[in-house]
Structure 1
Amino acid sequence: GWGFHLIATVLRGIAADRVPWANMWEFSMTGTLVIVGVFLVANLKWDIKYLGTFIIGLVLVLQGIALLRYFVPVVPLQPALQSYWLVIHIIVAVLGTAFFALGFALSGLQLLQYRRERQVAESRPQQFKFLATLPSAAALENLAYRINIVGFIAWTFTLIAGAIWAEKAWGRYWGWDTKEVWTFIIWVIYAGYIHARATRGWRGSRSAWLAIIGFAAVLFNFGIVNVFFHGLHAYSGLGS
Structure 2
Amino acid sequence: MLALYSDRLFMAAVGVYVLAMVLHAAEFAAARSAKPVLVGAGGPDGDGRPVEEARPRGERFARMAVSLTVLGALLHLGSIVTRGVAAERWPLGNMYEFTSAICLAAVVGWLVMLRRSPVTRAVGPFVLLPVVVLLFLAGTVLYAQAAPVVPALQSYWLVIHVTTITISSGLLLVPGVASILFLLRGSGRLGGRLAERLPSSDVLDRLAYRTTIIAFPLFTFAVIAGAIWAEAAWGRFWGWDPKETVAFVSWVIYAAYLHARATAGWRAARAAWINVAGFATVLFNLFFINMVVAGLHSYAGLG
Per-residue CA deviation, residues 104-140 of structure 1 (Å, 9 max, x unaligned), is 1111221233234xx9xxxxxx833232244321232
Task: Give the superposition deviation at 1:235.
Answer: 0.7
Aligned counterparts of 1:135 and 1:56: Cα–Cα separation in 2: 17
The one-letter code sitting in structure 2 at the alignment partner of 1:6 is L
Aligned counterparts of 1:51 and 1:97: Cα–Cα separation in 2: 19
- What are structure 2's unaligned runs of at least 5 residues? 1-71
* Residue in 2 that maps onto 1:102: 174
Percent of aligned pairs sharing the same letter: 45
Higher deviation after alignment, 162-171 or 128-137: 128-137
Aligned counterparts of 1:192 and 1:16: Cα–Cα separation in 2: 40
Match of 2:208 among 124, 144, 169: 144
State the structure with bigger RCO (CA 8 A, min sep 6), 1 or 2: 1
Partner secondary structure for residue 302 of structure 2: coil
Task: Give the superposition deviation at 1:200.
Answer: 5.5
Aligned pairs for 1:15-30 within 5 A? 15-30=86-101
Aligned pairs for 1:75-154 within 5 A? 75-116=147-188, 127-154=191-218
Partner secondary structure for residue 173 of structure 1: coil
Higher deviation after alignment, 69-78 or 216-225: 69-78
- Say whether 1:74 aligns with 2:138: no
The one-letter code sitting in structure 2 at the alignment partner of 1:59 is V
CA RMSD of aligned residues (A): 1.7
Match of 2:289 among 225, 231, 234: 225
* Residue in 2 that maps onto 1:123: none
Q: TM-score, normalised by structure 1?
A: 0.90
Partner secondary structure for residue 115 of structure 2: coil
Aligned counterparts of 1:57 and 1:139: Cα–Cα separation in 2: 20
* Residue in 2 that maps onto 1:2: 73
Distance of aligned partners of 1:65 and 1:12 in 2 relative to their CA distance in 1, 3 Å threshold: same
Preserved CA contact (<8 Å) 1:112 1:128: no
Aligned counterparts of 1:213 and 1:25: Cα–Cα separation in 2: 24
Preserved CA contact (<8 Å) 1:15 1:74: yes
Match of 1:171 among 222, 225, 235: 235
- Say whether 1:60 aligns with 2:132: yes
Aligned counterparts of 2:143 and 2:177: Cα–Cα separation in 1: 27
Match of 1:36 among 107, 111, 114: 107
Preserved CA contact (<8 Å) 2:168 2:219: yes
- Say whether 1:198 aligns with 2:258: no
Higher deviation after alignment, 216-225 or 41-50: 41-50
* Residue in 2 that maps onto 1:122: none
Per-residue CA deviation, residues 203-222 of structure 1 (Å, 9 max, x unaligned), is 32221111111111111100
- What are structure 1's unaligned runs of at least 5 residues? 120-125
Aligned counterparts of 2:233 and 2:264: Cα–Cα separation in 1: 40
Aligned counterparts of 2:121 and 2:203: Cα–Cα separation in 1: 15
Aligned counterparts of 2:271 and 2:195: Cα–Cα separation in 1: 20
Preserved CA contact (<8 Å) 1:70 1:238: yes
Aligned counterparts of 1:187 and 1:128: Cα–Cα separation in 2: 36
Aligned counterparts of 2:162 and 2:178: Cα–Cα separation in 1: 24
Aligned residues: 231
